[in-house]
Amino acid sequence: MIRRHILLLPAAWLASCASPNPALYTLAVMPGEPHIGTPHVVELRAIGLARYLERSQIVRSSEDFRLDVLGGDWWGEPLDAMLGRVLVQELTERLPGTTVFAESGAISPAADATVAINVLRLDSDRSGAVILLAQIAISGPNAATKSVRLSVMPPSPGTPGLVSAMSIATGQLADTVAAVLAGR
């Protein structure tokens, strides 16, 4: 009898330590204005991401020298890969007649232009607004480098509102890239 209880103790301990499954989130593709006169083939390079954002958990804020990480709310895929996937979709919508592909994908045609993006910040400031701070480098016919600071207030409280604001900011980043590719 004692032996049986001793064997059950590790299983009970493991069950008590198991955490519930986290809620998984993804960025949504945002619609945007189409731009004409852009290169025929555009390659989006792998997104450079600030190291503090390279985690499964969603970072709510990096204010006051402290990371506020949402322990039970995680990204559904690595954030850099998700940003790349969403930006390819958004740029494809904004650049009709242009083929947009990711550097990390299975295809690699010769590109007329390349887009490289470093995301330096993607979290909330003290006011609650989501801040997307990025550097953009575009090579090709309309070569340019640009720093972008976008600010979006979440439309609702909690993680869904935060992720919605991050999606909107990412859509605004795609708008900026599309405008530069179009020479505007």
Q: What is the CATH number of the domain that holds 51?
A: 3.40.50.10610
Residue type, 161: G
43: which strand partners? 101, 114
Detail the DSSP E strand segments found in the chain.
23-25, 41-44, 48-49, 57-61, 68-75, 99-102, 113-124, 130-139, 144-152
Distance CA 184, CA 167 (A): 23
Provide the residue range defining the domain that includes 154. 24-181
Q: Which of 11-25, 39-53, 116-130, 145-159 has the lowest mean pLDDT?
A: 11-25
Distance CA 76, CA 172 (A): 22
Angle between helices 79-94 and 158-181 (to 10 degrees): 50
**Does residue 59 sit within a domain?**
yes
**Does residue 4 sit within a domain?**
no
Distance CA 42, CA 85 (A): 14
The per-residue b/e assignment along 22-39, b for 16 or more CB within 10 angstroms, e otherwise, is beebebebbebeebeebb
How far is Cα of residue 168 from the mean position of the Cα atoms in its chain?
11
In the chain, the number of structural domains is: 1
Distance CA 71, CA 121 (A): 19
Tell me the pTM: 0.87
**Does residue 3 sit within a domain?**
no
**Does residue 68 sit within a domain?**
yes
**Does residue 10 sit within a domain?**
no
**Does residue 78 sit within a domain?**
yes
* Per-residue pLDDT tens over the stretch 124-174: 999 999 999 999 999 988 899 999 999 999 999 999 999 999 999 999 999
* Per-residue pLDDT tens over the stretch 46-82: 999 999 999 999 999 999 999 999 999 999 999 999 9
Of 134, 127, 126, nearest to 150 by C-alpha is: 134
**Does residue 107 sit within a domain?**
yes
**Does residue 61 sit within a domain?**
yes
Output the pLDDT for position 161: 98
